[in-house]
Structure 1
Amino acid sequence: MAFKEALQKVLQLEGGLKLHRNPTEEAETYAGIYRKAHPNWKGWEYIDKGETPPFELIEKFYYENYYKYFDVNIDERIKDFLFETAVNLGVRQTVKLAQKVLGLKPDGIIGPHTLSVLRNANVKNFIKDFTIARIAFYTALANRNPKRYAVYLRGWINRTLEALSWVS
């Protein structure tokens, strides 16, 4: 699936083009873009005036902050799964998780060795193992800080399984 199609699926998981506030967050989120983490996103100027940001700003945000790191010569299913995961976990944590699954030293950097191993990975096995590792990561996070994260655990698992359904 190409970037624009993958982005549409990610936006569905993020709740669409809506402004909302999550219970444990300090600021609002629009189309999955959290204001506190991304206060300089140009879309906030539109939202603050009561307007809808141009979709091109959303596309640019997701490409520049997440997709471009995986826009390399790897299997499209892996690329899409990593992109979707990065939107939720961040690029560095996503790469570390992928590296652990691949048996590599998890440094969070997509270097030539990581790319080579990723290109040669059995796609079905990688997706299966990455799904399990991702759910384990979320579970450990919720167990470490239940007050803050337990409320999200079911949603994170459901999101992972939904993303798995597109790439399987």
Structure 2
Amino acid sequence: MPAPTLNTYSHDFQHAVAFVLAKEGGYVQHPSDPGGETNFGISKRAYPHEDIANLTEQRAAFLYHRDYWRAVRSHELPTGIALAVFDGAVQHGTVTAARLLQEVLGAKVDGIIGPKTLLAARQADTEWLIARYVLRRARLYARIQARDPAQAVFIEGWFNRLRDLTDACWQVGYAAFSGSRAA
């Protein structure tokens, strides 16, 4: 069965996956990337049975929706933080993305976004939560580089991504709160 087209997904996911696909780019096989062969951010390490070299954007979006967006319950999070947590899941894995959110919220850190984490995220000031979550990810990137100096080649790109992510999260969050976004 073919993967759904992008326009069959929710507006929030379409926006989020467009951000991720733009940041991840196309096919690469960087010697310092532990994921190995990668296309649209989908790595051979994570998907050993996918034909990475011939992966389509549509298939990548399907995998992102099934294995990342839904796994971190982005469809249930406030719009701006949904994008931030989804992007965190793509970069760090779903459990780490959930743990980072729980740490920022002061919730029980178990790596599973359940009802209590969702409630805390909905009750938090979204702009504050986005800023704190992005800052927490920046600290994680610094630790990754400190543990593995070969990753230093990626650090500027990672921080540029976080800058652009913050802007994108605040833009969609503002649109949602101002009522200018269609439901």
**1:99 paired residue number:** 102
User: What is the RMSD of the two structures over their aligned residues, measured on CA atoms?
Assistant: 1.7
* Aligned structure 1 segments of 4 or more residues deviating by more than 2 angstroms: 52-56, 69-74
Q: Give the alignment's TM-score, normalised by structure 1.
A: 0.86
The 1:55/1:11 distance shift into structure 2, 3 A limit, reads closer
The 1:119/1:151 distance shift into structure 2, 3 A limit, reads same
**Correspondent of 1:110 among 102, 110, 113:** 113
**1:138 paired residue number:** 141
**1:2 paired residue number:** 12
Using the TM superposition, give the Cα deviation of residue 23 of structure 1 relative to its aligned residue in structure 2, in angstroms.
2.4
**Separation of aligned partners in 2, 1:55 and 1:14:** 11
**Correspondent of 1:76 among 71, 76, 79:** 79
**1:32 paired residue number:** 41
Summarize deviations over 1:4-52 as a string: whole Å, max 9, x none. 221111101002xx211122136311111111221123xx17x4xxxx5
**Correspondent of 2:158 among 145, 156, 159:** 156
Specify the SS of the correspondent of 1:2: helix
**Separation of aligned partners in 1, 2:132 and 2:57:** 34
**Separation of aligned partners in 1, 2:113 and 2:44:** 27
The answer to whether the 8 A contact 2:78-2:126 is kept is: yes
The answer to whether the 8 A contact 2:95-2:112 is kept is: yes
**2:28 paired residue number:** 20
Residue type at the aligned position of 2:16: A
Summarize deviations over 1:54-95 as a string: whole Å, max 9, x none. 443122111011111223432111111111111111111011
The answer to whether the 8 A contact 2:141-2:158 is kept is: yes
**2:58 paired residue number:** 56
Residue type at the aligned position of 1:145: D
Residue type at the aligned position of 2:23: L
Identity of aligned residues (%): 30
Contiguous gaps of at least 5 residues in structure 1: none
